[in-house]
């Protein structure tokens, strides 16, 4: 190794060292923030509710009890075999919810650091049947988590659910999916007409997770298996070339969104590689574009979430290595 190479290597090591120190200092500052909240285990409370106690419970959680449904229906529900099984499975998988609460706290601290107006939500867990398309609710300052949607990808409740949905129905997905709900609140684009608009929008949501839940793996952030994330990383340049060479980026064909951004067993290139690929690879590429933009721009996360897709794309100088 010549002198010039040694100097370049030393400079790179120094730059990485400074970057790591800055990140460590930032995380310490964020961790020092004080926030206070509890996780209300409504699933446990409801499982023990009697006819006599029901009116009091309804006063505490009125938003969980539609007025059109009589009390007799709620009592019948509590005592049904299916509901008892759901109560049992929720407690079995989440006996104390301690690690999940710590994870939420870390997320809330990060959001609070970047948005001083952020208000900690009221966090409530329920056991309300399996609904893989609506796994949790974030409305105003209320966060409701249906534990039945996070029991583990091989749980018997999920036997009739497509595998590519069931794979994300595990405890490790709760915090990333809460982060995504917040990301959607901050994200804005004046248009989502082209394929490039769409993948960059999803890229923003994923980059928001980079900032707000940095301790999670890339696989958990996007909801891939480790094999899926490895495949995407290895084939990133080829995926990008396919999009460019087939003039997809500025296309407004909605079929492209279906093929590359919505949940699916695989991405549809209409090539031999399809069955080996994970779904939603358009989201993955959008993520890498936004990451590249963040590297080339001195912009805070809140401003980044508001940036237009053409601005992000031009300034990203995105060019994956082959």
What is the average pLDDT across 84-98? 96
Specify the 3-state DSSP secondary structure of 68. coil
Alpha helices for the chain (secondary structure H): 3-31, 42-47, 54-60, 71-79, 81-93, 98-114, 163-166, 174-186, 195-212, 218-222, 226-234, 236-245, 254-260, 281-296, 301-306, 309-316
- Domain residue ranges in the chain: 39-162, 187-316
119-172, pLDDT tens digit by residue?
999 999 999 999 999 999 999 899 999 999 999 999 999 999 999 999 999 999
Bridge partners (DSSP) of residue 123 are 39, 143
pTM for this structure?
0.91
CB-side neighbour CA atoms (13 Å) of 72: 0
243-274, pLDDT tens digit by residue?
999 999 999 999 999 999 999 999 999 999 99
| Distance from C-alpha of 281 to C-alpha of 4, rounded to nearest angstrom | 40
What is the average pLDDT across 38-51? 97
Give me the DSSP letters along 197-221.
HHHHHHHHHHHHHHHH-TTS-HHHH
pLDDT of residue 322: 76
7-42, pLDDT tens digit by residue?
444 444 444 444 455 668 999 999 999 999 999 999
53 burial (CB, 10 Å; 0-12 / 13-18 / 19+) is: exposed
Do residues 145 and 126 lie in contact, with contact meaning Cβ atoms separated by under 8 Å? Answer: yes
Residue bearing the bigger pLDDT, 154 or 5: 154
Do residues 30 and 113 lie in contact, with contact meaning Cβ atoms separated by under 8 Å? Answer: yes
Round the average pLDDT of the chain to a whole number and report it.
Answer: 93
Q: Categorize the per-residue pLDDT at 1 as very low, low, confident or very high, splitting at 50, 70 and 90.
A: low
200-246, pLDDT tens digit by residue?
999 999 999 999 999 999 999 999 999 999 999 999 999 999 999 99
Do residues 78 and 46 lie in contact, with contact meaning Cβ atoms separated by under 8 Å? Answer: yes
């Amino acid at each position: 190794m010549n002198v010039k190479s040694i100097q370049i290597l030393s400079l790179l090591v120094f730059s990485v060292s400074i970057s790591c120190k800055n990140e460590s200092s930032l995380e310490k500052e964020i961790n020092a923030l004080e926030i206070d909240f509890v996780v209300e285990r409504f699933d446990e409370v409801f499982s023990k509710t009697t006819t006599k106690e029901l009116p009091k419970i309804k006063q505490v959680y009125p938003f969980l009890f539609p007025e059109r449904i009589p009390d007799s229906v709620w009592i019948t529900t509590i005592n049904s075999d299916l509901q008892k099984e759901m109560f049992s499975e929720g407690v079995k998988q989440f006996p104390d919810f301690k690690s999940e609460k710590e994870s939420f706290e870390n997320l809330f601290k990060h959001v609070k650091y970047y948005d001083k107006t952020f208000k900690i939500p009221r966090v409530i867990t329920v056991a309300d049947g399996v609904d893989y398309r609506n796994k949790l609710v974030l409305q105003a300052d209320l966060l409701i988590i249906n534990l039945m949607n996070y029991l583990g990808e091989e749980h018997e409740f999920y036997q009739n659910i497509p595998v590519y949905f069931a794979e994300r129905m595990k405890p490790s997905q709760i915090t990333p999916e809460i982060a995504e709900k917040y990301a959607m609140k901050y994200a804005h684009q004046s248009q989502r007409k082209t394929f490039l608009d769409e993948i960059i929008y999803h890229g923003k949501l994923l980059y928001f997770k980079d900032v707000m839940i940095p301790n999670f793996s890339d696989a958990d952030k996007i909801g891939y298996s480790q094999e899926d994330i490895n495949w995407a990383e290895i084939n990133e340049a080829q995926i990008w070339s396919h999009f460019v060479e087939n003039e997809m980026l500025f296309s407004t064909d909605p079929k492209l969104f279906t093929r590359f951004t919505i949940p699916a067993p695989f991405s549809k290139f209409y090539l031999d590689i399809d069955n080996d690929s994970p779904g939603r690879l358009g989201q993955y590429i959008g993520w890498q574009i936004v990451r590249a933009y963040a590297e080339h721009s001195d912009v805070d996360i809140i401003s980044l979430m508001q940036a237009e897709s053409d601005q992000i794309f031009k300034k990203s100088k995105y060019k994956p290595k082959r």
